[in-house]
Amino acid sequence: MAKLNENYLNIKQSYLFSEIAKRVNDFCAENPDKKVIRLGIGDVTLPLGSLVIDALHSAVDEMGKAETFKGYGPEQGYDFLRNGIKDYYSRNGVELEADEIFVSDGAKSDTGNFTDMFSVDNTVLVPDPVYPVYVDTNTMNGRKIIYMDGTAENGFLPMPDDSVKADVIYLCSPNNPTGAVYNKEQLKAWVDYANKNDAVILFDSAYECFVSEPGLPRSIFQIEGAKTCAVEFCSLSKTAGFTGTRCGYTVVPKAIVKKTSDGRTLSLNQMWNRRQTTKFNGVPYIIQRGAAKVFTEEGMLEAKGMIDTYRKNAKLISDTMDELGVKYTGGINSPYIWFECPFNMYSWDFFDKMLKEIQVVGTPGAGFGKNGDNYFRLTSFNNYENTKEAMERFKTLFK
Ligand code: MLT
């Protein structure tokens, strides 16, 4: 008899955003006349930029001619894109080698897939609240997970505790869901902890493009010592509207080398390369051509224009919270606004109230862990008109 992976019994029956989509779809089916405004899942709404579209079109044309047609590409990504990403890091003061960069179909898959690199015996430390993918993927593998509290008191930025022994640590900054951002000193404390304890930090920087306050780090590699202990996951989803187009990248420094139980050495970079060449056939050429455009100076300007639009929405949401006296974090260096549920409500109850009474969809904090039970997340990814209307409707809850 085939024995199934019983660890699946230990995760929730459905993924957070699938559960939300189900509830919203049920509501829409029962109330076809109601206009629902979606500020739930962090999915972009602006179309791809025109420079990216041009690059995609030319790549499609190349695929239609024998001389320029491409079959299997390098599993790690084409050099033109790896070098483009390398130059982008360099402009931000981080020097990498191109073969430390692995192109992927997004940060969600890679943060999950990267669990292949670690023994099931490792203890995994995650913040709570947390992006559920880190917890679910490790639970699927049967790994022990311990939590560190992100609370209003610590600004939702838990710091290392020497009495806690962790082998693999997930950090996300700017944070999903809270929008909080570690400063350089705080990240340095994490890097020092990891190096001291021979741990690896899995750093999710999918929202780095939203950092707007000067001095805040956009990459963990801006921190001294990070190259011996940190892997960074990044994505074009939020940077350039690639949620549907799919392209991301993971930086695995060659300096992360660990001893095996019998005294040999393993390089994380070589292991990830081995894993990817075995289990992945690379991101489509056409998509990589579009992605490469994003990393040019003009492509970055185009992406910035999109991000500025979402920033304007975030400001509208945070101004509304200020006006209503609702406590929140995020919104400045992040597309997310994370706030305390009004009326002392449990977040799934508040979700239902918002959906039924004002037809605005958000994400209940409980979906991100126990510390989110009484919190709620709104995104700035809808358009300005809808965001404005959602905020007008939101205010009516307080009348
Ligand atoms: C979110 O809403 O948290 C994100 O869209 C999820 C993701 O990027 O996978």
CA distance 369 to 167: 21
257: phi then psi, degrees, rounded to nearest 5: -130, 130
**Atom nearest to 41 CA in ligand 1:** 2
Kindly state the average pLDDT of the residues 153-162: 97
pLDDT tens column, 42-66: 999 999 999 999 999 999 999 999 9
CB neighbours of 154 closer than 8 A, spacing ≥ 6? Answer: none
pLDDT tens column, 191-232: 999 999 999 999 999 999 999 999 999 999 999 999 999 999
| Range from 10-19, 91-100, 214-223, 236-245 carrying the lowest mean pLDDT | 10-19
CA of 376 to the centre of ligand 1 (A): 14
DSSP code at position 358:
I
Burial class for 103, CB neighbours closer than 10 Å (0-12, 13-18, 19+): buried
Q: To the nearest whole number, what is the mean pLDDT of the chain? A: 97
Report residue 268's pLDDT band, with 50, 70 and 90 as the boundaries. Answer: very high
The answer, yes or no, to whether residue 14 has pLDDT greater than 90, is: no
Q: What percent of the chain has pLDDT over 70?
A: 100
Question: Whose CA is closest to atom 1 on ligand 1?
Answer: 42
CA of 41 to the centre of ligand 1 (A): 6
The two structure tokens encoding residue 246: 């799919």
Residue 150: CB atoms within 10 Å: 26
Predicted pLDDT of residue 15: 86
Question: Whose CA is closest to atom 3 on ligand 1?
Answer: 42
The answer, yes or no, to whether residue 380 has pLDDT greater than 90, is: yes
**Atom nearest to 40 CA in ligand 1:** 2
Task: Name every protein residue with a CB atom under 6 angstroms from any ligand 1 atom.
Answer: 41-43, 108, 176, 237
Question: Whose CA is closest to atom 6 on ligand 1?
Answer: 42
